[in-house]
Amino acid sequence: MDIQIGSHLYRNSNGTIEIEGVPQIDIEPRASGGFPKVNFALFEKGKMPAKLTNSTLAINEGQAYSLEKSLTSLVMRHRDSGKEILHMTLEENGRLVISHGEFYTLKGHTFTITPSEWTLEHTTVQDGETDLKGKAVSLE
């Protein structure tokens, strides 16, 4: 599966995105087509206030988050601020693009995605391409 995070393309991944060594996002294509199943753990101050399981909000403390889905996109937002936690689109070529997002890792660091880059602590990654040969996307 090809996953683009910001402007960096990760080709031939197994669909898992590990952030600081922890699998935080798992993407599973549907056999029937359409938007893949997404599993995502949202962390905040050592807790998990929200969790997506098979592209559905399985945990949503205080109904603080909203989820918008279509055949080609998934957007998770914080209700009060409107901030996009995770914005994914499925392109016609099957590539999954994560173009916007801001959330905490399990270690409490902010992970930010814009159309041009992703940033974690003091690491910023922009344009480029990585062939993962069937392994997980590992972001450190």
pLDDT in tens, 38-49: 999 999 988 999
The pTM of the full predicted model, rounded to 2 decimals, is: 0.94
20 located within any domain:
yes
Tokens of 1: 């599966």
61 located within any domain:
yes
CA-based R_g, the chain, Å: 14
* Residue 50 structural domain: 3-135
Kind and range of the H or E run holding 114: strand 110-114
Other Cβ atoms within 10 Å of 19 Cβ, number:
23
8 located within any domain:
yes
The count of structural domains within the chain is: 1
102 located within any domain:
yes
92 located within any domain:
yes
56 located within any domain:
yes
Nearest alpha carbon to residue 66 among 55, 56, 54, 79? 79
140 located within any domain:
no
- Name the pLDDT band for 129 (thresholds 50, 70, 90): very high
The alpha carbon of residue 116 and the mean position of all alpha carbons in its chain are separated, in whole angstroms, by 15
